[in-house]
Amino acid sequence: MDNPLRILHLEDDPLDRDLVAESLTEGGFSCKMRHVDTRESFLKAIEEEEFDIILADYSLPAFDGLAALEIARKKRPEVPFIFVSGTTGEDPAIEALTSGATDYVLKQKLSRLVSALRRAVMESKNRKDVAARETALNNVLHRLQLQVRFMPLACVVWNPDYSIREWNPAAGTIFGWSEAEAFGKDIRKLIVPPEERESRSILFDQILGEDIDGRTVSVNCTKSGKNITCEWFRTHLKDESGNLAGVLSMANDITERIRLENQLQTAQRMESVGTLAGGIAHDFNNALTGIIGYAELLRMRLAGDPKALADLDEISRAAERAATLTRQLLTFARRQVLEPVNLDLRNVVNDLMRFFVKVAGEQIEVKTSLAADTPTIRADRGQIEQILMNLIVNARDAMASGGQLSVETGGVILEDDYIREHQYMKNGRYALLVVSDTGIGMDEATRGRVFEPFFTTKGPHKGTGLGLSVVFGIVKQHDGFINLYSEPGKGSSFRIYFPAIEAAPDVRIGARPEPAPGGSETILLAEDEEPIRMLAERILKEIGYTVLTARNGEEAIEVFRRHQEAISLAVLDVVMPRMSGKAVFETIRKINPLLKVIFMSGYTADAIHQSFVLPTGVPYLSKPFGPVSLARKVREVLDGK
Ligand SMILES: Nc1ncnc2c1ncn2[C@@H]1O[C@H](COP(=O)(O)OP(=O)(O)OP(=O)(O)O)[C@@H](O)[C@H]1O
Ligand SMILES: [Mg+2]
């Protein structure tokens, strides 16, 4: 059963009160009546209590019905108000109804009260349901609005005249303008970089004209004038009749994401260029070893023919040039064999700068600053020198009309925060080498490509574009990182990080003694490339040695087993079929732990990214090599120097 109907009844006559109550009970209503008969009691009741319905007499001695109606409409507009009146005639009824009464029932026709009440209750209930639904919907909308407002995307609503109507806090964060600053401003002026305003206004018209996709990526600017890259989504806002009322544009700042993607892309490009360059250089290198070597052999034979010798000189010179390029490419591709020592960077810089200051000329002021906390690194001294040389030469070229060159070293610890911004780096302790100049600097396009082999802006015959590729390759092969900071006209700064080690630097060995040119010992020579093997064999035989050759690793072991008494030295190619030089070395060392060895290599072809790092102190000869360096190396090793 429903709750009793709560009725406020304004009536002074007790008889009429009873009559009304009675007819309601008869009509099947269960009611809870509160009776009042003055303005004060009416007001008090309406304020104290909730009612489902108000019944009122039209004219009362101490109050009047229309005044009550006015109060009720004001205070309880949702509660139905029915007159139950003895006042007949049309005028009062019409006045009552136009003033907002729900119904007008005559006391003389009280039987109508029940149906009037029923209808009023029903309508009121419907009205309440609708109101409740509306409230619920409004709540949802309100929450949604809040969520939209506070989501991490910038949400901007702008009018067809481009003025900004809504601007959420994320928009404030991304673009730097507060809501108050942005409101009413022309969106085209607020967030488009000044130099692009003209061309970009077409885009805004296209957006309004609905002939553009919902998503675009564009460069925007912030209040402080910084350019950022944003990804935009948008939707048209229409009014009830379908006309364009504005545009909701949502933006995500993807500057950082793009930067990281570019970082990754550059790294991948360098990897693939490295693979390609390394592959070519490897084969080229072997061919050159043949050209250079045979040219030298020919030289001995042509001793009496000066014209032929002059031609031969040209061949040798061209081949040497090619060999230099090839070696640089191999360095870029990280296929150099490292001879790492425990190195003090400060030491390398000091030695080199002494030499450089002389060549720098007066226009270039040289500054070095070597911090005492520069950690020791595990590195190949020659290669580090090469890094410095290349950077310094570039700096000099960038300062044709003078400037300042500074070379600094120090120690740094890279924390996680830093790594998040530079994802190609690893955290840890590093020795830092910084080479900076105050020269012409580089624009973004140049900055993105400087480490690529053969990229140069110096014009034909001036630069090969290999300098920085070599730097890059060496740094990578030392598990280091290189960062470049430069702006056109503002100079350049290269920062190189080498992993620090906990050790004291090695003590440097002095200059090497002059080697004897030849000898009579027996040498095992293992090399798979025929031209190189034959060349080395001929060189060694001509200067008196007995040479036993092998074409691969297994053969080398076999030959060694058969002649182990005679063999004093093994000259082994690092990369050979069947068995690598390193494996051959390990096997024969088990048979004869005192056997001397020289490795030959200019590369590590077995794995592109793994450098073949020789055990410290193991002698090696880099290809391409000439007869003199081979002879010298062989003698040096045999004599145990
Ligand atoms: N310190 C610098 N200041 C301005 N631009 C530089 C600097 N260092 C390098 N560059 C730019 O990078 C390009 C590539 O440098 P890289 O050393 O690889 O080749 P290169 O100097 O042109 O030729 P190479 O070193 O082979 O003789 C240069 O041509 C130049 O445009
Ligand atoms: Mg250079």
- Does domain 345-504 match CATH 3.40.190.10? no
Q: Report the separation in Å between the CA atom of 466 and the middle of ligand 2, taken as the mean of its atom positions.
A: 7
Q: What is the residue with the minimal CA distance to atom 12 of ligand 1?
A: 450
Largest CA distance in the chain: 154
Ligand 1 centroid to Cα of residue 469, in Å, is: 10
Q: Give me the pLDDT at residue 294, please.
A: 82
Q: Please tell me the distance from the alpha carbon of residue 88 to that of residue 166, in angstroms, as a whole number.
A: 58
461 Cβ contact partners less than 8 Å away, ≥ 6 residues apart: none
Mean pLDDT: which of 299-313, 353-367, 546-560 is highest?
A: 546-560
| Straight-line distance from the first to the last Cα atom of the chain, in angstroms, rounded to the nearest whole number | 114
Q: Which residue has the higher pLDDT, 563 or 287?
A: 563
CB 576 within 8 A of CB 604: no
Three-state secondary-structure class, residue 255: helix
Model confidence at 612, pLDDT cuts 50, 70, 90, reads: very low
CATH 3.40.50.2300 domain residues, the chain: 1-129, 522-638
286 secondary structure, DSSP code: H
Atom of ligand 1 nearest to the CA of 437: 1
Strand order in the sheet with 164-167: 164-167, 154-158, 244-253, 227-238, 215-221
Residue 32: pLDDT above 80? yes
pLDDT band of residue 82 (cuts 50, 70, 90) is: very high
pLDDT at 615 over 70: no
Separation of alpha carbons 27 and 580, rounded Å? 111
- 470 CA closest ligand 1 atom index: 18
Angle, CA 122 vertex, CA 120 and CA 126 arms, to 5°: 115
Nearest Cα residue to 470 out of 278, 617, 234, 224: 278
Q: Which of 490, 482, 395, 501 is nearest to 433 (CA)?
A: 482
Mutate to test the pocket of ligand 1, among 468, 474, 484, 496 (most ligand atoms within 8 A of CB): 468
Indicate whether residue 465 lines ligand 1 (CB < 6 A).
yes
Query: What's the 469 CA to ligand 2 centre distance in angstroms?
Result: 9
pLDDT digit string, tens, across residues 57-78: 998 888 989 999 999 999 999 8
Structure tokens that stand for 346 in this block:
């400060």
Residue 487 has pLDDT above 90, yes or no: yes
Centre of ligand 2 from the C-alpha of residue 607, in Å? 28
490 pocket-lining for ligand 1 (C-beta < 6 Å):
no
Q: Which residues 6+ apart lie within 8 Å of 495 measured at CB?
A: 432, 433, 434, 482, 483, 484, 485
Shortest CA distance to 51 belongs to which of 66, 67, 32, 36? Answer: 32
DSSP label at residue 109: G
DSSP category for residue 163? B
Confirm if 90 and 112 have CB atoms less than 8 A apart: no
Place 510 in a pLDDT band, splitting at 50, 70 and 90: very low
Enter the DSSP assignment of 362: T
Per-residue pLDDT, 393: 86
Calculate mean pLDDT across residues 234-248.
88
Distance CA 414, CA 427 (A): 5
- Alpha carbon of 446 to ligand 2 centroid (Å): 13
Residue 251's pLDDT band (boundaries 50, 70, 90)?
Answer: very high
pLDDT at position 473 is: 93
Q: What pLDDT does residue 119 have?
A: 92
Find out whether 237 and 230 touch, Cβ atoms under 8 Å. no
Which of the listed residues 326, 401, 458 should we mutate to test ligand 1's pocket, taking the one with most ligand atoms within 8 A of CB? 458
**Cβ(469)–Cβ(449) under 8 Å?**
no
Residue 253 host element (H or E):
strand 244-253
pLDDT at residue number 611: 40
Q: Residue 48 and residue 34: Cα distance in Å, rounded?
A: 11
How far is 626 from 609, CA to CA, in rounded Å? 28
Residue 191: pLDDT band (50, 70, 90) is very high
Average pLDDT in the chain: 87
At residue 11, the pLDDT reads 94
SS3 151: coil
Tokens 């390398």, residue located: 348
Centroid of ligand 2 to alpha carbon of 318 (angstroms) = 21
| Fold adopted by 131-253 | Beta-Lactamase (3.30.450)
Tell me if 326 sits within 8 A of 464, measured CB to CB: no
Over range 438-451, report the average pLDDT: 94
Pocket test for ligand 1, best of 392, 401, 456, 461 (most atoms within 8 A of CB): 456
Check if the beta carbon of residue 171 is closer than 8 Å to that of residue 154: yes
* Residue extent(s) of CATH 3.30.450.20 domains in the chain: 131-253
- Which ligand gives the minimal distance to the CA of 462? 1
Within its chain, how far is the Cα of 601 from the centroid? 38
| Distance from C-alpha of 116 to C-alpha of 110, rounded to nearest angstrom | 10
The pLDDT > 70 percentage for the chain reads 94
Range 522-638: architecture per CATH: 3-Layer(aba) Sandwich (3.40)
Q: What is the DSSP letter of 478?
A: T
1-129 has which CATH code? 3.40.50.2300
Q: What is the per-residue pLDDT across 516-529, written as a single tens digit (0 to 9) for each?
A: 468 899 999 999 88
What string of DSSP letters covers 411-477? EEEE-HHHHHHSTTS--EEEEEEEEEE-S----HHHHTTTTSTT--SS-TTT--S-HHHHHHHHHHH
Looking at ligand 1, which residue's alpha carbon is closest to its atom 19? 465
Asked if residue 451 has its Cβ within 6 Å of ligand 1, the reply is no
Q: Are 503 and 376 in contact (CB under 8 A)?
A: yes
Cα–ligand 2 centroid distance for 396 (angstroms): 10
Segment 433-438 mean pLDDT: 97
Cα of 464 vs centre of ligand 1, distance in Å, is 9
Give distance in angstroms: CA of 344 to centre of ligand 2: 25
For ligand 1, whether the C-beta of 398 sits within 6 Å is: yes
What distances in angstroms separate CA 362 from CA 204, 403, 440, 443, one per listed residue? Answer: 56, 10, 18, 28
Taking 70 as the threshold, does the pLDDT of residue 616 lie above it? no
DSSP 8-state code for residue 599: E
| Among protein residues, the one whose CA lies closest to atom 17 of ligand 1 | 467
Residue with the larger pLDDT of the pair 320 and 343 = 343
Protein residue closest via CA to atom 1 of ligand 1:
395
- Whether 342 and 504 have beta carbons less than 8 Å apart is answered as yes
Asked which of 318-327, 384-393, 465-474, 489-498 is least confident by mean pLDDT, the reply is 318-327
Is 93 in contact with 104 (CB distance < 8 Å)? yes
Alpha-carbon distances of 36 from 14, 190, 299, rounded to whole Å: 11, 65, 134
Q: Residue 610's pLDDT band (boundaries 50, 70, 90)? A: very low
Q: Rounded to the nearest 5 degrees, what angle is found at the Cα of 562, between the Cα atoms of 559 and 564?
A: 90
Ligand at minimal distance from the CA of 469 is 1
CA distance linking residue 620 with residue 216, whole number of Å: 58
The dihedral sign for the CA sequence 223, 226, 227, 230:
negative
